[in-house]
Amino acid sequence: MKNQKLQDVIKDRYGKIARGEQTFCCPTCGPTVTDQCLAVGYTAEDLQLVPELAVLGVGCGNPTALADLKEGETVLDLGAGAGIDAFLAAKKVGQHGRVIGVDMTEDMVAKGSHLAKQHGYGNVEFRLGYIEQLPVDSGTVDVVISNCVINLTPDKLASFKEVHRVLKPGGRILIADLVTAGDLPPDVRASASAWADCLAGAMPKAAYLEAIRSAGFAAVSVVSESPYEAPGMDARLQGQIISVKVRAVKGQ
């Protein structure tokens, strides 16, 4: 499938979510977005700390809880959406820190930017761009976080190379994402809707971790993992999709 077609389908899907025209089916059967967020690792306190409209229930983890963010750090949030993780990160890095959210969906960037201004997040900004070509200067970021987004990119290695480029020496990543336990059926891989569901673009776990190493990262480790099951998921995918949280460091 052509990359442009994939991008158009994904932008359309997440644009509708940003505008409130559609919801995203998370890996739980919870009836509300709040239930979905609690199930993947957010706490009730987390959800109270951020603007309500930033909570969309589209992730598979809570990277800010595992990234060990420190006062004054610069954080880059890949596929930031409406900003739930960016706003949580902003609380942790404080007024002397900075958070940059990058998303390829215009409606998400507009929504995040509006919420940041409306709620006084002066240390958060949102930029329109692709992970494979990040609109961020080289060597300027302390920490990169991402929540169930890199699986949406057609070229994972190029994405991780860009992440490596923008990090300072010694900078780190904490990525929550979906990977597979084996090969997915060809028709699933070719399905644009399955890509938008964060399924078709998922790589085998070993290949995913190797892509991170090949991009130049060291100390690559899986912090945690769990089976991913979504209501209505193709029966052939049961037990094949895994939610992982991965940490790695850019060597000196």
* pLDDT, tens digit, 9 for 90 and up, residues 196-234: 888 889 999 999 999 999 999 999 999 999 998 776 778
Instruction: Give the count of domains, the chain.
Output: 1
- Give me the pLDDT at residue 242, please: 94
DSSP readout, 99-161? EEEEES-HHHHHHHHHHHHHTT-TTEEEEE-BTTB-SS-TT-EEEEEEES-GGGSS-HHHHHH
* pLDDT, tens digit, 9 for 90 and up, residues 116-171: 999 999 999 999 999 999 999 999 999 999 999 999 998 999 999 999 999 999 99
DSSP label at residue 61 = S
Q: How far is Cα 249 from Cα 167, in angstroms, rounded to an integer?
A: 9
Here the CATH number for the domain that contains residue 233 is 3.40.50.150
* E strand segments, the chain: 74-78, 98-103, 124-128, 141-147, 167-180, 217-227, 241-250
- Mapped onto helix, strand or coil, the DSSP state of residue 212 is helix
What is the bridge-based pairing of β-strands 124-128 and 98-103? parallel
* pLDDT, tens digit, 9 for 90 and up, residues 31-53: 688 888 888 889 999 999 999 99
- Give me the pLDDT at residue 34, please: 86
Q: How far is Cα 225 from Cα 80, in angstroms, rounded to an integer?
A: 22
Q: How far is Cα 49 from Cα 33, in angstroms, rounded to an integer?
A: 16
Q: Report the share of the chain in percent with pLDDT over 90.
A: 72
* pLDDT, tens digit, 9 for 90 and up, residues 50-107: 999 999 988 899 999 999 999 999 999 999 999 999 999 999 999 999 999 999 999 9
- Give me the pLDDT at residue 197, please: 83
CB atoms within 10 A of CB 7: 18
From residue 120, alpha-carbon distances to 80, 100, 105, 124 in Å are 18, 15, 23, 9
DSSP label at residue 249 = E
Domain boundaries, position 81? 3-250
